[in-house]
Amino acid sequence: MKVKTEKAALTDKETLNEVIECLRENIPIKTKKTSTQEDLYNIIISAASQMESVENAANKLDKSYSGKTVRNYLATFESFKELEARINQALISKIPRRIKKRKHKLAIDINLIPYYGHPSKSEKDYIYRSQARNGTCSFYAYATAYIIAKNKRLTLAIIGIKKSYTNVAIITCLLDKLDSLKLRIKRLYLDRGFYSASVIKWLMALDIPFIIPAIKNGITGGINQYLKGKKSYKTSHTMNKGKGNEVVFPLWIVCKYLKGKRNKNGIEYLAFVAYKVDVRLHYIAEEYRRRFGIETSYRLKNICRIRTTSKNPIIRLLYVGISFIIINIWIYLLWSKISKCRRGSRLVYQNLFNLKQMLAFLSNTVNRIYGVRETVYIPDG
């Protein structure tokens, strides 16, 4: 009787090769030998897969460079702007089909990583001030553009935010990064932090459909004047933030009956700026919940981000960028390897290959290549 043998859809070695090739093509490290470059990528990937520092990853591997050597090579990245461009190139290099030249829903948000201490002259421009969190008001900040699509939830662009950037500048920079994909924006979802006259005016001038939660301010005026009644409704609001900065926009007020939810009763009012949004009024809140996929991308990023105490903004950007690249490659592998074509939408077996499984693949393969250190020796003298 013949035994049927099935070919593996994906192996751990193939997974590691996909990540290394992507980094080699888009974020090359200046070295004299190709073999040296591959060793460096392996150590960096090992650190990312285990959420640890480069030093710890290098020390655990038996036949590898030291953490100090890896840091010296990474110090060859001298331009923040150039590295940012290379990371964005890597992000879009591994995306499933049906992304380019199509219409998609996008979310834009800002991710904050706490900064402690007093910044040096070279660091000051990259420290972003925000509301206190984790014992500090200073942060490394990164804005990302994220595509909201079934089985294709990808980070398409990232920028490191400088202190001088306005919200309009952040949105403009991210949309510029997407030019090569020739995307058409079906709808843009923004966090309440972007609620301002300048942002709303700019997006309306670009004629981009968008949803932003309105901040409920004012006692007799502002948004609070609309929070009344027992039925949801649409209206318009004029925001006046000084001469030449006045904007009139559509405002949607949604009434939700709590019915004991969160131990509360009565009506909860939700307010949204909804420009050219083709959604029924009562479903606008559920529609906006799609934006929270970008929050998930930040949580995923945190489980494959290299840990470091370095305050160098360039190194910080590199480590954050690599984590988003790994997530994009995971989505790409799911789409291209761990799926089947069928009528309608593609069937993706995400339960067979989640992100933690991919990180285990990467870690185990690097350990096999270099071996894991099993002994410790005290130096002579």
What one-letter code names the amino acid at 70?
Answer: V
Q: How far from the centroid of its chain's Cα atoms is residue 246's Cα?
A: 32
DSSP readout, 54-98? Answer: HHHHHHHBSSS--HHHHHHHHTT---HHHHHHHHHHHHHHS--SS
Q: Are 177 and 159 in contact (CB under 8 A)?
A: yes
Give residue-wise pLDDT tens across range 296-314. Answer: 888 889 999 999 999 999 9
Bin 267: left if φ > 0, else alpha if -120 < ψ < 50, else beta: beta
Q: Are 166 and 159 in contact (CB under 8 A)?
A: no
C-alpha distances out from residue 106 to 103, 186, 203, 281, Å = 10, 8, 14, 20
Instruction: Quote the pLDDT of residue 1.
Output: 47
Residue 235's contacts (CB-CB under 8 Å, 6 or more residues apart) are 226, 250, 251, 253
Helix H or strand E encompassing 12:
helix 12-26
Instruction: Quote the pLDDT of residue 346.
Output: 78
Instruction: Quote the pLDDT of residue 244.
Output: 67
Rounded mean pLDDT for each run of 10 residues along the chain, 381 residues in total: 67 95 94 86 95 93 89 92 95 83 88 90 89 89 89 87 93 92 90 92 94 81 85 90 79 85 79 92 88 82 92 95 95 89 80 93 95 85 65
Name the DSSP class of 303: T
Beta bridge partners of 159: 143
Predicted TM-score (pTM) of the model is: 0.91
